[in-house]
Chain A
């Protein structure tokens, strides 16, 4: 079975602070994908990033960056110079793809981290 744990239930910061959202995962699959989604107050899920298990390069997209460390099974997300519009629930998710694996193709979510950015 696969599992995703987001240690922080809620984080509160003041605008322009940097904030890191932690994500730790468990899987027996040899190939897997990791995702981050944002859920703003309107409720829809906004895709942020997908990373496969063979690509450990960190990625930066504007104020967002992701640190993937296979050795510690972590896929952390950092927002630099946070803004009020970053206030949302953020989900980390995992999809395993080993042939014959029971988790094949199913997306497992963490509990979510509620981020509040104050002006």
Chain B
């Protein structure tokens, strides 16, 4: 099984619908992140959480919300999806120790029509 699992892998939804992207990890890492990838813009940080009680906005949080249900689970919600939220979404984890890397999920490709 993958260390960081994202579900669903692909999703097509309609404008105005609420949708949740889920991320679970078996790394035992405290820190979790949601990134969005758009062509030519790289990956941009949406939200991050350094522990279960700590949630922080990233650079592009408008239109998104998150929930850290447990150390291993970090969900991203689009309350009312719009077409410009069509993108590839990545969840990532890292340890608190500075000398560790980041582990990424396989990504969720979301299309809003």
Contact = CB atoms under 8 A, between A and B. Distances in A.
Contacts of B104: 44-45, 47
A79 B44 CA distance: 26
B107 A43 contact: yes
A43 B42 contact: no
Given A105-B50, A107-B33, A91 B43 contact: yes
A9 to B, nearest CB: 7
B58 A91 contact: no
B102 to A, nearest CB: 6
Nearest to B58: A106
- Most chain-A Cβ atoms within 10 A of its Cβ — which of B44, B48, B98? B98
- B interface residue count range (under 10 / 10 to 19 / 20 to 34 / 35 or more): 20 to 34
Interface stretch (A14-22, A62-70, A109-117): A109-117
B73 interface: no
A31 interface: yes
B101 A50 contact: yes
B86 to A, nearest CB: 15
A43 B102 contact: no
6 contacts: A45-B90, A45-B104, A52-B99, A105-B94, A106-B45, A109-B44
